[in-house]
């Protein structure tokens, strides 16, 4: 963001009335979803007709329109996704908010004029991620909500593309794009827009250890200016128009005044919607118990008392200049914030009786009802003694307004005839390898059978450096490496290389550069969320030597992808990557990093919690995925989290003998 220029105020819209509320309240841009491929499947969302109408309405007010196409895509949805993206381009929306790199690569290929914004579901949280996205055609990255002020400022300063940051609304306790809780446990994928919000439920003790208060940066606007983000985003596509209007109006006032909120304004925001108040814990680097909150009875009562949104009353001012000269076509020039356009109509005739006068013409031209405009000024240059049919005046007025409304539209390139109509599998390479991730070095078996069974074994970076494991040649990178931690991780990776590591399991495109700098061969972890062949091809072309596919895929979908890929065939899948320490909330601070740390849900299911350096948490599934008796085709990946060395060897024995399970498990679908 350039000095002195206000950042964009970006408001949500779950339906057309909410979009009108955002415009009425002064949003600079609005984001909304269609009926497919959006991460809020249960919002009202927009039909195709409404999307086209919304894009046109936004242009009339100089408001940008961004559409969410931010779910993971399956191969058999590729053709429908491209058709939808092509429609969005032709409808004139200003950008797509997208998470799936496979979908993005296809859109760049077949719809090259469409601007792309990387969704927060992409898990971008450092400068390396922004640089990577810039190299692949993105113009903006939505930053992770967990960034501190110093990390956000560093990112905004060094990013080659625009950075968008959330300033208000609900906070997921897990890093966006890294949550599988709803999917693995309840069958409703958050990465597919159907999150059941298990983090908002109580645990066995009746506490809410994963439920965060809503974010509100209203009291920190001047700090946000200091960071330099290009766009400030309000969360809330599931919220009512009254919420959108009330929150957007307050932030509009704060941005225009270049000031932070007063206590009264903070109270008003809480009345609109809150969960036990608000938090700025991530931004302030104060990640503690005070961030937790639930929706209380008094919170609900205050929200219900909101005044209903009365509809869009705002109009955009125009200047109309009419020129009627003898023997020349009637011309009408329309000027406004979008620019100026002139259209020509019929040639006026000589009047036999009642000639057209300026007052009558002005009255007719001022009839802009039903449009988003009003005639602020009408100028008329009219020769005496002429006449023009009212229908011809009306037709020219409509044509001029339509032409004005089209000002600012981009050129559209849509290569429909070249778009693929069916799934194209990735060519097979060396996809039959077996790899293992062992989360704790103390659980590594010493038996040769373990190392003979696997082609490659990975340990978390900190575990690898702290132990003597001469037969382990791979390290797992931390799931999050903000700019403030990059140098430290870089030093550790070089130490790992010196110690003998040659491979790195990497789950974020923003960490690829670190692998290369350390001389490590990057292998794509399941956290890359690869769910289609295009995403697999993109990852392999970006430098990953092979990939672990998303555990959300079925056996049939795994076959659709093919290529140098593996699937998770055993292990407790990590469900959440947490910045907020869940071990402290669920089991006590002294359990962090121990076998005792776990979340026990209200049904008595135990979800182990392991520490990830420096002080993040990984929450694992309560049961392991198991496929010894029904192995899918292709490469295999095993995750050993809480299993002892002897238990690991028993697992290998079961897989060698293709034994059925003996306890509670999760099956591959």
Give the tens place of pLDDT for each residue, 496-510.
999 999 999 999 999
Query: Residue 605: pLDDT above 80?
Result: yes
Residue 172: predicted pLDDT: 94
Using an 8 Å Cβ cutoff, are 91 and 55 in contact?
yes
- Mean pLDDT along residues 407-431: 77
614 upstream amide cis, omega within 30 of 0: yes
What are the angstrom distances between the C-alpha of 610 and each of 17, 150, 287, 466, 572? Answer: 45, 27, 18, 16, 12
Rounded to 5°, the CA angle 606-608-612 comes to 160
Mean pLDDT, residues 596-603 taken together: 94
Residue 190: CB atoms within 10 Å: 27
State the Cα–Cα distance between residues 41 and 195, nearest whole angstrom.
Answer: 9
- pLDDT number for residue 410: 84
Stretch among 31-45, 146-160, 461-475, 631-645 having the lowest mean pLDDT: 31-45
Binned at pLDDT 50, 70 and 90, residue 447 comes out as very high
- How far, in Å, CA of 144 to CA of 128, rounded? 14
- Res. 428: pLDDT tops 60: no
pLDDT tops 80 at residue 1: no
β-strands 503-506, 565-571: how paired? unpaired
Q: What is the mean pLDDT of residues 162-175?
A: 97
Residue 593: the pLDDT is 73
Tell me: pLDDT of 423 over 70: no
HEC assignment per residue over 5-53: CCCEEEEEECCHHHHHHHHHHCCCEEEEEECCCCCCCCCCCECHHHHHH
H-type helices in 101-220, by residue range? Answer: 101-110, 127-135, 149-158, 181-186
CA-to-CA separations, 506 to 294, 389, 594, in angstroms, rounded? 34, 71, 24
What's the mean pLDDT in 377-404?
Answer: 94
Instruction: Write out pLDDT tens, residues 14-64.
Output: 999 999 999 999 999 999 999 888 766 666 789 999 999 999 999 999 999
**Which one-letter DSSP state was computed for residue 316?**
E
510 Cβ contact partners less than 8 Å away, ≥ 6 residues apart: 123, 124, 125, 126, 128, 129, 130, 132, 481
Q: Are strands 116-118 and 140-142 parallel, antiparallel or unpaired?
A: parallel
Question: Is 60 exceeded by the pLDDT of residue 515?
Answer: yes
Q: What is the pLDDT of residue 591?
A: 76
Q: Residues of the chain with pLDDT > 90: what percent?
A: 84
Structure token digits, residue 40: 């809020």
101-110 vs 78-91: helix crossing angle, rounded to 10: 60
Neighbour tally for 204: CB within 10 Å = 14
In this structure, the dihedral spanned by the alpha carbons of residues 584, 585, 591 and 593, taken in order and rounded to 10 degrees, is -60
Residue 42: what pLDDT? 63
Asked whether residue 233 carries a pLDDT value surpassing 90, the answer given is yes
Average pLDDT of the residues in 409-429: 79
DSSP assignment letter at 659: P
Residue with token string 């009637």: 330
- Residue for token pair 């392999």: 540
Taking 90 as the threshold, does the pLDDT of residue 262 lie above it? yes
**pLDDT tens by residue, 628-651:** 999 988 899 999 999 999 999 999
- Per-residue confidence at 371, pLDDT binned at 50, 70, 90? very high
- From the list 567, 569, 476, the residue with the least C-alpha distance to 515 is 476
Q: Say if residues 650 and 640 touch (Cβ distance below 8 Å).
A: no
Beta bridge mates, 95: 66
Residues 6+ apart with CB under 8 A from 610: 439, 440, 593, 597, 617, 618, 620, 641, 642
Weakest mean pLDDT among 82-86, 306-310, 324-328: 306-310
Cβ atoms of 118 and 130 within 8 Å: the answer is no
Is residue 2's pLDDT more than 70?
Answer: no
> In which band, very low, low, confident or very high, does the pLDDT at 427 lie, cut at 50, 70 and 90?
low
In which band, very low, low, confident or very high, does the pLDDT at 407 lie, cut at 50, 70 and 90? confident
**CA–CA dist 426, 579 (Å, integer):** 35
Give the mean model confidence (pLDDT) for residues 227-244.
96
pLDDT at 431: 57
Residue 635: closest CA among 432, 429, 458, 426: 432
Task: Tell me what pLDDT residue 3 has.
Answer: 53
Measure Cα distances from 350 to 358, 359, 385 in Å. 15, 18, 6
Question: Which pLDDT does position 588 carry in this prediction?
Answer: 80
pLDDT digits (tens, 9 = 90+) for 87-103: 999 999 999 999 999 99
Is residue 430 scored above 60 in pLDDT?
no
The answer to whether 231 and 164 have CB atoms below 8 angstroms apart is yes
Beta bridge partners of 340: 335
Please say if the pLDDT value at position 495 is more than 90: yes
User: The whole model's pTM is what?
Assistant: 0.94
- Under the banding of pLDDT at 50, 70 and 90, the label for residue 11 is very high
pLDDT of residue 305: 78
DSSP H or E run through 81: helix 78-91
Please give the mean pLDDT across all residues of the chain: 93
Residue 427 neighbours by CB distance under 10 Å? 12
Q: What is the band of 236 on the pLDDT scale with cuts at 50, 70, 90?
A: very high
Largest CA distance in the chain: 109
- Is 422 a residue whose pLDDT tops 80? no
Q: How far is CA 619 from CA 60, 568, 573, in A?
A: 47, 17, 9
- What pLDDT is stored for residue 43 in this prediction? 64
Task: Quote the pLDDT of residue 41.
Answer: 63
């Amino acid at each position: 963001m350039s000095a002195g220029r206000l950042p964009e105020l970006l408001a949500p819209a779950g339906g057309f009335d909410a979009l009108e509320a955002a415009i009425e309240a002064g949003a600079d841009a609005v984001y909304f979803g269609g009926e497919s491929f959006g991460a809020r499947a249960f919002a009202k969302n927009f039909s195709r007709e409404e999307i086209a109408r919304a894009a046109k309405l936004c242009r009339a007010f100089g408001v940008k329109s961004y559409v969410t196409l931010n779910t993971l895509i399956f191969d058999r949805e590729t053709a429908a996704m491209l058709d939808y993206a092509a429609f969005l381009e032709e409808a004139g929306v200003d950008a797509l908010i997208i998470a799936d790199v496979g979908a993005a690569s296809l859109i760049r290929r077949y719809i090259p004029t469409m601007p792309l914004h990387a969704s927060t579901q992409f898990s971008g949280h450092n400068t390396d991620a922004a640089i990577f996205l810039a190299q692949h055609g993105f113009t903006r990255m939505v930053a992770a909500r967990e960034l501190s002020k110093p990390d956000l400022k560093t990112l905004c300063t060094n990013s080659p593309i625009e950075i968008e940051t959330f300033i208000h609304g609900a906070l997921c306790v897990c890093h966006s794009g890294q949550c599988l809780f709803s999917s693995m446990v309840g069958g409703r994928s958050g990465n597919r827009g159907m999150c059941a919000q298990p983090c908002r439920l109580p645990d066995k003790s009746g506490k809410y250890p994963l439920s965060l208060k809503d974010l509100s940066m209203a009291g920190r606007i001047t700090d946000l200016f200091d960071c330099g983000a290009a766009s400030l985003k309000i969360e809330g596509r599931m919220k009512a128009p009254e919420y959108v209007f009330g929150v957007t109006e307050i932030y509009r006032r704060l941005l225009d005044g270049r000031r932070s909120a007063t206590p009264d304004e903070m109270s008003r925001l809480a009345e609109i919607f809150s969960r036990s108040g608000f938090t700025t814990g991530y931004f302030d680097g104060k990640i503690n118990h005070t961030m937790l909150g639930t929706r209380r009875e008094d919170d609900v009562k205050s929200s219900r008392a909101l005044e209903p949104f009365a509809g869009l009353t705002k109009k955009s001012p125009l200047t109309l200049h009419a020129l009627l000269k003898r023997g020349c076509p009637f011309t009408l020039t329309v000027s406004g914030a979008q620019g100026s356009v002139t259209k020509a109509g019929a040639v006026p005739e000589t009047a036999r009786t009642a000639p057209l006068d300026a007052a009558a013409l002005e009255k007719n031209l001022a009839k802009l009802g039903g449009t988003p405009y009003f005639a602020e000024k009408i100028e008329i240059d009219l020769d005496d003694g002429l006449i023009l049919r009212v229908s011809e005046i009306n037709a020219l007025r409509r044509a001029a307004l339509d032409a004005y409304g089209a000002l600012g539209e981009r050129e559209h390139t849509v290569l429909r005839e070249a778009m693929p109509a069916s799934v194209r599998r990735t060519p097979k390479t060396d996809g039959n390898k077996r790899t293992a991730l062992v989360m704790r070095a103390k659980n590594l078996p010493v038996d040769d059978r373990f190392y003979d069974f696997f082609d490659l074994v990975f340990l978390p970076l900190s575990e690898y450096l702290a132990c003597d494991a001469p037969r382990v040649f791979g390290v797992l990178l931390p799931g999050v490496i903000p700019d403030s931690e990059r140098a430290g991780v870089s030093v550790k990776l070089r130490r790992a290389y010196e110690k003998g590591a040659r491979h790195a399991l990497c789950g974020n495109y923003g960490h690829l550069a670190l692998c290369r700098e350390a001389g490590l061969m990057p292998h794509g972890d399941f956290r890359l969320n690869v769910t289609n062949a295009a995403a697999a091809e993109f990852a392999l072309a970006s430098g990953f030597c092979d990939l672990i596919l998303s555990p959300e895929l079925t056996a049939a979908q795994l076959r659709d992808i093919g290529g140098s890929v593996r699937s998770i065939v055993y292990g407790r899948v990590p469900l959440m990557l947490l910045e907020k320490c869940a071990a402290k909330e669920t089991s006590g601070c002294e359990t962090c990093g121990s076998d005792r740390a776990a979340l026990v849900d209200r049904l008595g299911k135990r979800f182990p919690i392991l520490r990830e350096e420096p002080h993040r948490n990984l929450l694992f599934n309560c049961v392991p995925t198991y496929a010894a008796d029904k192995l899918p085709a292709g490469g295999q990946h095993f995750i050993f989290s809480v299993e002892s060395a002897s238990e690991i060897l028993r697992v290998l024995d079961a897989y060698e003998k293709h034994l059925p399970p003996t306890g509670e498990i999760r099956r591959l679908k």
